[in-house]
């Protein structure tokens, strides 16, 4: 392709960056709240849960720091998400082509998500995106390694990459802050679930409003 990528190692967030999972996630969150005896907000009021670690989102929704209560909510969430919600998802237009071009240009790609790795791998394979990724860095089912800085750090280890040679691409503050904590630059994408001004305030090297803009920046 004749391109010289600015970064050799590309770390991509999943939800809100590569795929739009809002239907599956918000319906599964509402299911969990109702199953555990809490009031479930309308789906449009739950869009903010796409991106941050699920444990923190349920603590906020249930207004509790009781780990047993949060564990029960997560179990009820997965009761619906694993068989149904995981498929209520769609790849953003242009993403498959972008990933293929980045890999062809010699970049090494890692998925860096707070979602459990077991679910993330299933989603990549379901959409045929797995072929472009060298590795997947995600959390454990018990909630360990859900913090984005821990995810980014793990992705760098898996890639054997120096922070200066990598960039994190994501749609929320957590992506930018997690990358910065590891000495990695970050790019925000505007088609995800950030609130107005959220990404700009987090201080990424750029915020891309379209996949074409991201392609030009990466390649």
Find all residues with CB under 8 Å of 196, minimum gap 6, and list them: none
CA distances from 21 to 60, 208, 209 (A): 20, 20, 19
Q: What's the CA angle centered on 159, arms 78 and 17, to 5 degrees?
A: 45
- Rg of the chain on CA atoms, in Å: 17
User: Is 13 noted as a catalytic residue in this protein?
Assistant: yes
Residue 67 has φ and ψ, to the nearest 5°, of -65, -35
**What is the number of H-type helices and E-type strands within the chain?**
9, 8
CA distance 200 to 194: 10
Choosing from 13, 147, 171, 175, the catalytic residue is: 13
Catalytic residues: 13
């Amino acid at each position: 392709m004749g391109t010289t990528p600015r970064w050799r190692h590309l770390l991509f967030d999943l939800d809100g960056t590569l795929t739009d999972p809002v239907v599956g996630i918000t319906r599964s969150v509402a299911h969990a709240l109702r199953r555990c005896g809490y009031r479930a907000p309308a789906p449009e009021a739950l869009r903010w849960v796409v991106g941050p670690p699920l444990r923190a989102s349920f603590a906020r929704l249930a207004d509790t720091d009781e780990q047993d209560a949060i564990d029960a909510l997560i179990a009820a969430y997965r009761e619906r998400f694993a068989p149904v919600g995981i498929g209520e998802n769609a790849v953003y237009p242009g993403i498959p082509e972008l990933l293929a071009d980045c890999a062809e240009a010699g970049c090494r790609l890692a998925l860096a998500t707070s979602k459990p790795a077991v679910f993330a791998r299933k989603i990549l394979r379901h959409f045929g995106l797995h072929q472009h990724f060298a590795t997947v860095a995600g959390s454990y089912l018990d909630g360990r390694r859900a913090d984005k800085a821990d995810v980014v750090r793990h992705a760098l280890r898996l890639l054997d990459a120096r922070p200066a040679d990598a960039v994190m691409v994501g749609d929320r503050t957590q992506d930018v802050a997690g990358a910065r904590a590891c000495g990695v630059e970050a790019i925000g994408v505007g088609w995800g679930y950030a609130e107005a001004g959220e990404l700009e305030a987090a201080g990424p090297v750029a915020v891309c409003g379209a996949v074409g803009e991201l392609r030009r920046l990466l390649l």
